[in-house]
Homo-oligomer: A and B are copies of this chain.
Amino acid sequence: MPSSMNLMLLLLLLSFLSFQAVHSSSLQFQHPLDPLTKQEITTVQTVVQRKYPTSNNTLTFNYIGLHDPDKPSLLKWEHSKPGTVNIPRKSFVIAIINKQTHEIVIDLTLKLILSDNIHTGHGFPTLSVEEQNDAILLPLSYKPFKDSIKKRGLNLSEVVCATFSVGWYGEANSKRAVKLDCFMKESTVNIYVRPISELYILVDLDLMKIIEYHDRAIHPVPTADNTDYRLSNQKPPFGPKQHSLATHQPQGPGFQINGHSISWANWKFHIGFDSRAGVVLSTASIYDLEKHKSRRVMYRGYISELFVPYQDPSEDWYFKTFFDAGEFGFGLSTVSMKPNRDCPSHAQFLDVFLHTGDGSPSLLENAICVFEKYGDIMWRHTETGIPDVTELLESRTEVNLVVRSVVTVGNYDNIIDWEFKASGSIKPSIALTGILEIKPVDAKHKSEIKKDEHGTLVSANSVGVYHDHFYIYHLDLDIDGVDNSFEQTNLKTVRVTDGSSKRKSYWTVETKTANTESDAKISIGMAPAELAIVNPNKKTAVGNQVGYRLISGATAHPLLTEDDYPQIRGAFTNHNVWVTPYNRSEKWAGGLYVDQSRGEDTLAVWTQKNRNIKNKDIVLWHVVGIHHVPAQEDFPMMPLLSTGFELRPTNFFDRNPVLKTLSPNDVAWRECPK
């Protein structure tokens, strides 16, 4: 026990340390990968408007984000004493100014435009929320549309429209445009299941007016009955009943969030956010208890694109081949989560700042939640084989960390989890919920359907159209250092023909290191193989290359023909795995400008250069796919459908890194004395 003198010293020291903390906080110290602050977004707006005053320019901010530092600079910053390496804060901006797409880099400290280039190639920037909000109001005051509604006997005040990207189908010229589909919100908020079909509405976004309109035919709008999902509109009986769980972490959560940096168990990483990518996890490192140091696993990970091609070739549907990240923005489409519903009661939430079309910052509360997940086993063994030893049971409870966000692009909600395990695994997962896009049909019963309706009759007059969800993860793994290689370990059958064994066969492995990008284009499931990113410059004590393995879930391959326009644009789905050399500009697997892109700037095109990827700074791209044949259970609201994969340490550690992990202390719920 310290003497009172020592105690005094200790208190002094503690107050000094806490003063230091307050001090750095007062300096507004930031991690170089922190998303733009509210103030920084305002700076961007001010600086751009200074050059292009809105008094005599039309100006829309389609993207405002961090111009992230290059990797060498960031690594230098990471390994230097705080304050000694300064990384200037910069923003990368895509703005449409007087109908031209500008790429502007701004120094946020100096409040200066560093560069301002005009994009001249194909493709347009991510749609802004505001221009979409403007576009969907146009039909309501457009005479031909009002006539169509009247002709159908519908109430115009109950009509709501939504924007759909138009895609690209070989047209020589493109202009910024969206198509609109309209729906009835009468008696339901579930608009997607009540489409008014056969209306063709094309909006020119620059003119912000309807430039093409056709009313092709009249079909009944599916009924609103049983489509509303709001609790307030449900009638009893409710059920089945779910019982409550109260939770309490007496030691507090096992993680600390400091700004956007998080430390939990043996992991440290940074949670960034981008209006296009949504959640971006960076600089994830795991502490090695034996080597007494933190070892890098992932420099950066995020979902680069989500391709959702619908499979109905008809006039109303053929163009529905969405690129949700590039066209609508995964960040812009991130929604607030509800405490105790979307995340457990012991979760902590992070807010983020997004930007509006006019460049103003806008707060999104509860955009990200972080919580610890309990209930699984970390490892266990019961030994029954040692005669004198009884009751040999060792079991360690597993506590994992989950970072969750929800991206709702129109009808679908994508629940995006990143789960970290103390044993070294990162398990990203995707869960789909939300609402199907419905095509109205005349049939009330399957027996009335005589041709391919390209979907499942999920309710009377309602077809849930076939479609795919292809998520592509950008996984810039830096396994124990920047330079890595990609290894494919094939499992191959060996036939015993020399009588050396009583067996006729066995399997063994053959490891190939990918030299160039073409060696690393993998369609998973074609042949049994283990896929790993290894560091050929680092070996374990017994001489294995340190590595992380990709353990995929069930995979899906694209079914469109390779020459089809949407597949050319979504050619990054042609393989489940790709590996590229790190290139700061190759962030978006479908290209930087995806709206009406022509597939000229995709992962499939970049890799045609067939660059060297051996012992280089490399990026792993992984496509997680779901072919979706809708079922009636998906109507009017889809229960969660989950998939995912695991990045698992494979000879990264010299042995099980959680052998000396203790299970959490048992804590009982204590009833309060009455």
Chain B residues near A371 (CB-CB < 8 A) = 375
Chain B residues near A578 (CB-CB < 8 A) = none
Contact A393 to B663, CB < 8 A, known contacts A242-B422, A542-B460, A632-B654: no
Chain B residues near A248 (CB-CB < 8 A) = 245-248, 669
Bound CA–CA A216/B556 (angstroms): 50
A249 touches B243 (CB 8 A): yes
Q: Is A11 an interface residue (CB 8 A)?
A: no
19 contacts between A and B (CB under 8 A): A239-B289, A243-B399, A244-B249, A336-B382, A340-B397, A376-B640, A381-B408, A381-B434, A424-B633, A446-B539, A466-B507, A504-B560, A504-B561, A552-B554, A632-B651, A632-B654, A633-B657, A634-B656, A636-B659
Question: Which chain A residues numbered 613 to 670 have a C-beta less than 8 Å away from chain B?
Answer: 627, 629, 631-641, 648-670
Known: A549-B631, A639-B656. 14 other contacts (CB 8 A): A189-B392, A229-B394, A238-B662, A243-B372, A245-B374, A311-B507, A336-B393, A341-B663, A377-B431, A381-B408, A458-B655, A491-B627, A530-B627, A639-B658
Contact A386 to B189, CB < 8 A, known contacts A265-B240, A381-B408: yes
| Partner of A651 from B243, B398, B456 at Cβ < 8 Å | B456
Question: Which chain A residues numbered 546 to 584 have a C-beta less than 8 Å away from chain B?
Answer: 549, 551-557, 559-561, 563-567
A341 touches B397 (CB 8 A): yes
A68-76, A250-258, A297-305, A470-478 - the one binding chain B: A250-258
Bound CA–CA A311/B640 (angstroms): 39
Q: A26-57 interface mask toward B, CB cutoff 8 Å, 1 = contact, 0 = none? A: 00000000000000000000000000000000
Bound CA–CA A137/B11 (angstroms): 62
Q: A453-469 interface mask toward B, CB cutoff 8 Å, 1 = contact, 0 = none? A: 01011111000001000
Q: A303-338 interface mask toward B, CB cutoff 8 Å, 1 = contact, 0 = none? A: 000000001111100110000000000000001111
Chain B residues near A372 (CB-CB < 8 A) = 243, 245
Instruction: Give the Cβ gap from A594 to chain B, nearest Cβ, in Å.
Output: 18
B229 touches A504 (CB 8 A): no
Chain B residues near A261 (CB-CB < 8 A) = none
A318 touches B415 (CB 8 A): no
Q: A338-352 interface mask toward B, CB cutoff 8 Å, 1 = contact, 0 = none? A: 101110111000000
Q: Is A503 an interface residue (CB 8 A)?
A: yes
Q: Which 9 A-B pairs have the closest CB atoms?
A: A446-B543, A313-B501, A672-B672, A243-B254, A248-B669, A423-B639, A240-B265, A169-B502, A244-B664
By beta carbon, the residue of chain B nearest A312 is B506
A84-92, A108-116, A492-500 - the one binding chain B: A492-500
Chain B residues near A1 (CB-CB < 8 A) = none
Q: Is A513 an interface residue (CB 8 A)?
A: no
Bound CA–CA A431/B395 (angstroms): 14
| Partner of A559 from B160, B336, B493 at Cβ < 8 Å | B493
Q: Interface residue count for A (Cβ, 8 Å)?
A: 188
B655 touches A636 (CB 8 A): yes
A382 touches B335 (CB 8 A): yes
Q: Is A212 an interface residue (CB 8 A)?
A: no
By beta carbon, the residue of chain B nearest A446 is B543
Q: A526-542 interface mask toward B, CB cutoff 8 Å, 1 = contact, 0 = none? A: 00101000000001111
A506 touches B313 (CB 8 A): yes
Bound CA–CA A245/B238 (angstroms): 30
By beta carbon, the residue of chain B nearest A383 is B189
Chain B residues near A667 (CB-CB < 8 A) = 244-246
Q: Is A187 an interface residue (CB 8 A)?
A: no
B250 touches A244 (CB 8 A): yes
Bound CA–CA A374/B402 (angstroms): 13
Chain B residues near A425 (CB-CB < 8 A) = 639
Contact A252 to B247, CB < 8 A, known contacts A444-B542, A503-B565: no
Contact A346 to B245, CB < 8 A, known contacts A137-B387, A381-B408, A662-B238: yes
Q: Is A433 an interface residue (CB 8 A)?
A: yes
B240 touches A246 (CB 8 A): no
Question: Which chain A residues numbered 411 to 443 have a C-beta less than 8 Å away from chain B?
Answer: 411, 413, 415, 421-425, 431, 433-435
Bound CA–CA A640/B379 (angstroms): 6
Q: Is A138 an interface residue (CB 8 A)?
A: no
Q: Is A673 an interface residue (CB 8 A)?
A: yes
A509 touches B629 (CB 8 A): yes
A459 touches B393 (CB 8 A): no
Contact A503 to B318, CB < 8 A, known contacts A237-B660, A380-B342, A542-B459: yes
Bound CA–CA A230/B395 (angstroms): 9
Q: Is A141 an interface residue (CB 8 A)?
A: no
| Partner of A553 from B230, B456, B554 at Cβ < 8 Å | B554
Instruction: Give the Cβ gap from A563 to chain B, nearest Cβ, in Å.
Output: 6
Q: Which of A315, A496, A662 has the most CB of B within 10 A?
A: A662
Q: A152-185 interface mask toward B, CB cutoff 8 Å, 1 = contact, 0 = none? A: 0000000010100000011000000000000001
Chain B residues near A634 (CB-CB < 8 A) = 656
Chain B residues near A457 (CB-CB < 8 A) = 542-544
B238 touches A660 (CB 8 A): yes
Q: Is A97 an interface residue (CB 8 A)?
A: no
Bound CA–CA A387/B596 (angstroms): 26
Instruction: Give the Cβ gap from A285 to chain B, nearest Cβ, in Å.
Output: 13
A633 touches B423 (CB 8 A): yes
Bound CA–CA A134/B640 (angstroms): 51
A393 touches B649 (CB 8 A): no
Chain B residues near A654 (CB-CB < 8 A) = 632
A638 touches B244 (CB 8 A): no
